[in-house]
Copies of this chain bind each other. A is one copy, B any other.
Amino acid sequence: MMDMWELDTPCLIIDLEVLEKNIKRMGDYCKEHNLNLRPHIKTHKIPEIAKIQVESGAVGITSAKVSEAEIMADAGIKDILIAYPVYGKQKLERLMKIAEKAEVSVAVDSEAVAEGISKKAGENGKRIGILVEADVGMHRCGWEIGEEFINAAKNIRDMPGLDLKGVMIYPGHINKGGAVHSELEKLQEDINRMYDLFNSAGIEIRVLSGGSTPSAFLSHKLKGLTEIRPGSYVYNDMNVVGWGCAGEEDCALKVLATVVSTTVKGQIIVDAGSKTMSSDSFLPKNGRGFGKIFGYENLFIKKMNEEHGYIDISTSESKFKVGDKLLVIPNHCCTTSNMHDEVYGLRDNKVELSWQITARGKIR
């Protein structure tokens, strides 16, 4: 088996042992607390990993786009939530094809989107699961919890071809530093109020789907939550580490990079930039750059161009020369995966397998 250090760079590698540990930890947590696990595959975009997740107890998967769901359905995943408003002729036609292979649900936050799905499902004799999305603080999609929301939910429940299963929330703002306890209390109040309103309106919430990696291990504290949709936990990344939800040793995904220039004083350039790791910044606080050099106390990619990662070594004891190889933990594992066509799976620094990132770049 090839040694990791012989791989051409830049390339993406997975420490399989860490991956397996991360998947098991989340699976065990969900079993212990009787929560359904529906991991978001946007993190890895790899059918083989989705299958490992399902085999270790996940009820199904979450995808963002119809095109990602297509790939997962083709790979044999039987229960798929598309956590995104599906709108437009082409996407609805493809949604119907997916519904022939898998049980498929869609999260909606408008009657317009629900109507489109209802009409198409009716024409095709299909029944599509629906989660109505509530905004619990992210202010991205979703209704405020209130009358308008309940009225929309009633209308959607009554649309033919749809099965209103419940509610989707995205509590990704929780446990990103700060007042976790008060945030949780506020969220629990929102959830209680929502159950009351839905009960009064005679709508059953069979599914309340939450999630996100930073808040995942707080999920058992929320009464009424039935499933979670974390994504990043399979790999972890510098953002997850920065939020205090994992250590660097829990980061399974890294970029192998080569030092290609040491000519400008106090700095080295590696061959991994924004085309390799995306330009997503470090979210927990400012000034931590664009990726951590694994195994070095204080070395970060301080700046990036598409093919250049700048590392400030002016205060480092370490010496580097052209050709040295380094491992970088990216800020954001999901957007990093999206830049690559394949990833190498390693055990003890030997290449055990390679996986195609089949759902990379699936934006529609």
Interface residues of A (CB under 8 A from B): 8-11, 42, 64-65, 84-85, 87-91, 109-110, 112-113, 135, 139-143, 258, 260-264, 267, 269, 271-272, 274-276, 278-281, 305-308, 310, 321-323, 334-335, 338-341, 361, 363-364
Partner of A112, one of B64, B135, B321: B321
Task: Please list the 10 inter-chain residue pairs (A to B) with the smallest Cβ-Cβ separation, ordered nearest first.
Answer: A8-B90, A112-B322, A85-B260, A141-B261, A109-B263, A64-B307, A279-B279, A110-B322, A279-B280, A139-B264
Total copies of this chain within the assembly: 2
The reply to whether B263 and A110 form a contact with Cβ atoms under 8 Å apart is yes
* Shortest Cβ gap from A135 to chain B (Å): 6
Chain B, residue nearest A341 (CB): B361
Determine the main DSSP class of A at the interface with B: loop
The reply to whether B323 and A112 form a contact with Cβ atoms under 8 Å apart is yes
The reply to whether A85 and B264 form a contact with Cβ atoms under 8 Å apart is no
The reply to whether B261 and A88 form a contact with Cβ atoms under 8 Å apart is no
The reply to whether B340 and A91 form a contact with Cβ atoms under 8 Å apart is no
* Shortest Cβ gap from A328 to chain B (Å): 13
B-side contacts of A279, CB under 8 Å: 278-281, 335
The reply to whether B140 and A307 form a contact with Cβ atoms under 8 Å apart is no
Q: CA A91 – CA B10 in complex, angstroms?
A: 11
Assuming the contacts A141-B264, A261-B141, asked whether A364 and B10 have C-beta atoms less than 8 A apart, the reply is yes
The reply to whether A307 and B364 form a contact with Cβ atoms under 8 Å apart is no
Scoring A85, A262, A334 by chain B CB atoms within 10 A of each residue's CB, the highest score goes to A85
Chain B, residue nearest A140 (CB): B308
